[in-house]
Amino acid sequence: ASAKTSRKKTSAVSDDLKQFEVTTEEFKDCVVKHLHVTLGTDENKASKKAWWNATCAAVNEIVFERVTKTQKTHYQKDTRAVHYFSLEFLMGRFLKNNLTSVGLTDIAKQALEQLDLDFNEICEEEPDMALGNGGLGRLAACFVDSLATLGYPAIGYGIHYEHGLFTQEIQHGRQLERPDSWREYGNPWEICRPESIQEIPLYGYVETKYDEGGHIHKEWHPGRIIKGVPWDIPVVGYGAKTVNILRLWESRASDFFNWDVFNAGGYLDAQVENVQAETISKVLYPNDNTEAGKELRLIQQYFFCACSIKDIIRRYKRAHGNDWSKFTDQVVIQLNDTHPAVAIPELMRILVDRAEMHWDDAWAICQNVFAYTNHTLLPEALEKWSVRLFEKVLPRHLEIIYEINSRFLEDVVEPAFPDNDEVKRKLSIIEEGHEKMVRMGNLSVIASFKVNGVAEIHSQLVKSDLFPEFNQIWPDKLTNVTNGVTPRRWLKSCNPALSKLISEYVDDDWPVHLDKLQKLNDFADDSKFQKVFMQIKHDNKVELAKVIKSLTNIEVDPTALFDIQIKRLHEYKRQQLNLIHIMALYRRLLQNPDYDMPKRVFIFGAKAAPGYYMAKEIIYAINKVADRVNNDARIKDKLKVVFLPNYRVSLAEKMIPAADVSEQISLAGKEASGTGNMKLALNGAVTIGTLDGANIEIAEEAGEDNVVIFGLTVEEVKAKKAAGYNPWDYYYANEELKAVLDWFDTDYFTPGKPGELAEIKRSLLDYGDTYLTLADYASYSDAHKKIDRLYQDKPTWARMAIINTATMGKFNSDRSIQDYVNNIWKLTPCFIEE
């Protein structure tokens, strides 16, 4: 029994989902076959994990064959490809997604049912592949999905971390981090490719040599060699025509290099070196939007960039030999933030030192290969490496960076800004000062042919505030590509009931033509459609209520308004604003038991970086407030607060379909784009949000009546800061705000421990309230009053929810990818034979 099949031939793009012709019977037999021959067990003693593995193996009969076909075709047609370099890929689970892509979800469901297994339970066996922190890593995952779906030759390059993002436990209200071991017992989706191993140098020194002609030549004598082992993860496009790969590098000790040590009797020393080598791909740094500045992190960055560049060159040479003239026709490298920026001096090193190319020719190649995406303006996230550290780890790369810099300052900056030392200081890749630093942002802008922000307002700010002089020098370099999310995972597979309804009312190709959702606008006032739409929302809330009960033991009423804030815990994202408002609602209910508001459930999901003190305090405060509120009989269950532990992709897939309200409340100018905002609106949640990031474009699409906007604008924030913001003014001016903040000093939420939450109050008053939480409080509170009124009017609310789903077509990541293709990558879709 085999799941291999054939289908009718159509176009490169999967505009229609032709199901692979497999019967339920065949699929079932195939799963059982794999239970026997792949898992070495049988129906009587198989664990659920074994059944999950066997089901994956059955799906892989289709997937792996498509991988091979895709690679063969790309090779034969010698296609131009994008190489997406990212330190993070937050892929989540694959089984449901890959079944959706091959069109076999229903077949698999039935097959498992016939085996007395529950499809959803089997899917729950899969650990999330959490090789990312948050938005940046998940964006990379959505992008590789869209690239495959649209039939573009593409490869994602990253690190095969042994431990992905930590799992979060909540104990006595506090976050504890536990290691994530996503592949401890093997992973059915990955293929090891030992034939493509690379060797990567590190440390050591540079020797300057002169040839007979007196030409200078640099030779790097590395102190260590690390082996990079590639693991390929198939990325199945919707319709499974193109199956691209994600190639993730695992570090190992190089046998070759350690041989000397070993022979010299240094057996134990050799083992220590092994451990050090294997440390490189051991663990993902858990910081989001902040820089770690650690040596191991720089080595991680270099390790995967160097492996990937060698891999690209090996593939190029197979087709073109030593003729470099076609290289920039075939290769474009997208840098996902500055994390992979060390790829720039690495490519220069290979071209100049190894291929013996003239500097100018090598630089011309680089400038046509690299493009850079900026994901933040937060100063603490802009990467800088100390020159001293750089020199120790990558001595030759530092020299190359200095050379790039001096040529840039002389040939580009001097003509544009004659004798302007201030501009030179600002644009230099090297920051002078007590400790000299390498600015990875400047390096990325200088070497790239395009630089993009991730939402309109963010890209404007990149031009006006972050890189204004670069924008003056190269007016066409800085551009925008608004983020998007894959509707396959974030609607079709996570919200099957709504998906079915949409297919009935729209067409069934909406997962690749998301603009078609517009048709739902025609039914926004149709009371029958409203009922069905809101019934689905209710059913999703019933399901989430079960999850909440099982994870936290808290009972919530599915008829209550579900208000959801899911994202990393960060002060700029302002979970503390949400919390303060919840406390105010609680206070209003205590003061007036008849206070008019619909029943409300506030749900949070958020991980804090392990070293981020204030973020952890906010998590603790949310949990302590939840304890008190949820167990106070006086407020008669009108208010519940839930903190769901271990927020991750697979939990998001359960939360998003159940949201009535989406909290997008960052201080204007701080959230580059946001992508959770798109997923929630797509599933019919109404946004309460600031005019920040993609919220602005969501409001434009949905219309101002269908989102609730509050708070200061970017301009107003700038003005307020310039005028000298004083949080105490807001404290004294607002009786409710003062009372709530003073609550933090008491033991009301921490019985017997007064002041345990006081650091939060201090951060908002004594430490200056960096993110203007208090300035936006009154406006936020009013916005919630508006939400309450709207929610109580059922038809009005249903209309808003429907219009939100109907108008989110723009935020399909296929559209983002098409923008990249048109304006940056210049790729052509490639048809893969059946």
Q: How many angstroms separate the Cα of 184 from the Cα of each of 110, 126, 249, 253, 659?
A: 30, 12, 17, 20, 33
Compose the 183-222 pattern: x for residues touching ligand GPQ by CB under 6 A, - for all others. ----------------------------------------
Cβ nearer to ligand GPQ, comparing 380 with 729: 380
- Decide if residue 689 touches ligand GPQ (CB under 6 A): no
**Torsion on CA atoms 746, 750, 754, 760, rounded to nearest 10:** -70
Tokens of 772: 């203007």
> Looking at 433-441, 669-677, 700-708, 791-799, which segment touches ligand GPQ (CB under 6 A)?
669-677
Which are the contacts of 76, defined by CB distance < 8 A and separation ≥ 6?
A: none
> Looking at 272-280, 500-508, 670-678, 711-719, which segment touches ligand GPQ (CB under 6 A)?
670-678
Q: Residue 150 in contact with residue 829, Cβ under 8 Å? A: yes
d(Cα 85, Cα 301) in Å, to the nearest integer? 10
Min dist CB 383 to ligand GPQ, Å, is: 9
- Decide if residue 483 touches ligand GPQ (CB under 6 A): yes
**Among positions 151, 674, 689, 809, the unique one binding ligand GPQ when judged by CB under 6 A:** 674
Element holding 393 (H helix, E strand): helix 387-393
Cβ nearer to ligand GPQ, comparing 340 with 693: 693
d(Cα 385, Cα 478) in Å, to the nearest integer? 24
Rg (CA), the chain: 27
Cβ nearer to ligand GPQ, comparing 224 with 607: 607
d(Cα 783, Cα 336) in Å, to the nearest integer? 35
Give the number of other Cβ atoms within 10 Å of residue 131's Cβ. Answer: 27
d(Cα 369, Cα 688) in Å, to the nearest integer? 40
Cα of 381 vs its chain's centroid, Å: 15
Alpha-carbon dihedral sign for residues 135, 138, 144, 148: negative
CA angle 566, 567, 571 (to 5 degrees): 120
d(Cα 112, Cα 106) in Å, to the nearest integer? 10
**Among positions 26, 180, 273, 337, the unique one binding ligand GPQ when judged by CB under 6 A:** 337
Q: Which of 621, 572, 484 is nearest to 776 (CA)?
A: 572
Q: Residue 239 in contact with residue 99, Cβ under 8 Å? A: no
Min dist CB 693 to ligand GPQ, Å, is: 5
d(Cα 712, Cα 260) in Å, to the nearest integer? 64
d(Cα 812, Cα 489) in Å, to the nearest integer? 11
Min dist CB 375 to ligand GPQ, Å, is: 4
CA atoms within 13 A on the CB side of 610: 13
Min dist CB 468 to ligand GPQ, Å, is: 20
Min dist CB 646 to ligand GPQ, Å, is: 18
Q: Residue 94 in contact with residue 129, Cβ under 8 Å? A: yes
Cβ nearer to ligand GPQ, comparing 90 with 741: 90
- Decide if residue 164 touches ligand GPQ (CB under 6 A): no
Q: Which of 483, 454, 451 is nearest to 467 (CA)?
A: 451
**Among positions 672, 702, 737, 774, the unique one binding ligand GPQ when judged by CB under 6 A:** 672
> Which DSSP state fits 167?
E
3-state SS class at 656: helix
Min dist CB 665 to ligand GPQ, Å, is: 13
Cβ nearer to ligand GPQ, comparing 288 with 759: 288
* Helix 395-408, helix 440-447: angle, nearest 10: 60
> Looking at 32-40, 157-165, 203-211, 665-673, which segment touches ligand GPQ (CB under 6 A)?
665-673
Q: Tell me whether residue 274 is exposed, middle or buried, using C-beta atoms within 10 angstroms of its C-beta: 0 to 12, 13 to 18, 19 or more.
A: middle
- Decide if residue 139 touches ligand GPQ (CB under 6 A): yes
**Among positions 675, 683, 706, 804, the unique one binding ligand GPQ when judged by CB under 6 A:** 675
Min dist CB 89 to ligand GPQ, Å, is: 12
- Decide if residue 375 touches ligand GPQ (CB under 6 A): yes
Alpha-carbon dihedral sign for residues 564, 570, 572, 574: positive
Mind giving me the DSSP string for 140-152?
A: HHHHHHHHHHTT-
Tell me the catalytic residues.
375, 567-568, 573, 675, 679
d(Cα 262, Cα 259) in Å, to the nearest integer? 5
Min dist CB 454 to ligand GPQ, Å, is: 4
**Among positions 151, 158, 669, 693, the unique one binding ligand GPQ when judged by CB under 6 A:** 693
Q: Which of 375, 331, 381 is nearest to 351 (CA)?
A: 331
- Decide if residue 336 touches ligand GPQ (CB under 6 A): no
Instruction: Give residue number: closest CB to ligand GPQ.
Output: 135
Cβ nearer to ligand GPQ, comparing 605 with 693: 693
- Decide if residue 514 touches ligand GPQ (CB under 6 A): no
Report the site for ligand GPQ in 412-471 (rule: CB under 6 A): 454
Cβ nearer to ligand GPQ, comparing 651 with 798: 651
> Looking at 192-200, 546-554, 668-676, 711-719, which segment touches ligand GPQ (CB under 6 A)?
668-676
Tokens of 636: 């008669």
Cβ nearer to ligand GPQ, comparing 483 with 812: 483
Which are the contacts of 447, defined by CB distance < 8 A and separation ≥ 6?
A: 341, 344, 366, 367, 370, 372, 404
Cβ nearer to ligand GPQ, comparing 130 with 312: 130
Compose the 286-305 pattern: x for residues touching ligand GPQ by CB under 6 A, - for all others. --xx----------------
Compose the 97-136 pattern: x for residues touching ligand GPQ by CB under 6 A, - for all others. ------------------------------------xxxx
Cβ nearer to ligand GPQ, comparing 153 with 674: 674
**Among positions 298, 309, 381, 708, the unique one binding ligand GPQ when judged by CB under 6 A:** 381
> Looking at 213-221, 538-546, 549-557, 673-681, which segment touches ligand GPQ (CB under 6 A)?
673-681
d(Cα 196, Cα 791) in Å, to the nearest integer? 57
d(Cα 523, Cα 526) in Å, to the nearest integer? 5
Report the site for ligand GPQ in 518-577 (rule: CB under 6 A): none
Min dist CB 284 to ligand GPQ, Å, is: 12
Number of residues that bind ligand GPQ (CB under 6 A): 19
Report the site for ligand GPQ in 45-64 (rule: CB under 6 A): none
Cβ nearer to ligand GPQ, comparing 19 with 713: 713
CA atoms within 13 A on the CB side of 397: 30
End-to-end CA, the chain? 20
Cβ nearer to ligand GPQ, comparing 134 with 669: 134
Min dist CB 674 to ligand GPQ, Å, is: 5
Cβ nearer to ligand GPQ, comparing 373 with 630: 373
Chain residues in the site for ligand GPQ (CB under 6 A): 133-136, 139, 288-289, 337, 375-376, 381, 454, 483, 671-675, 693
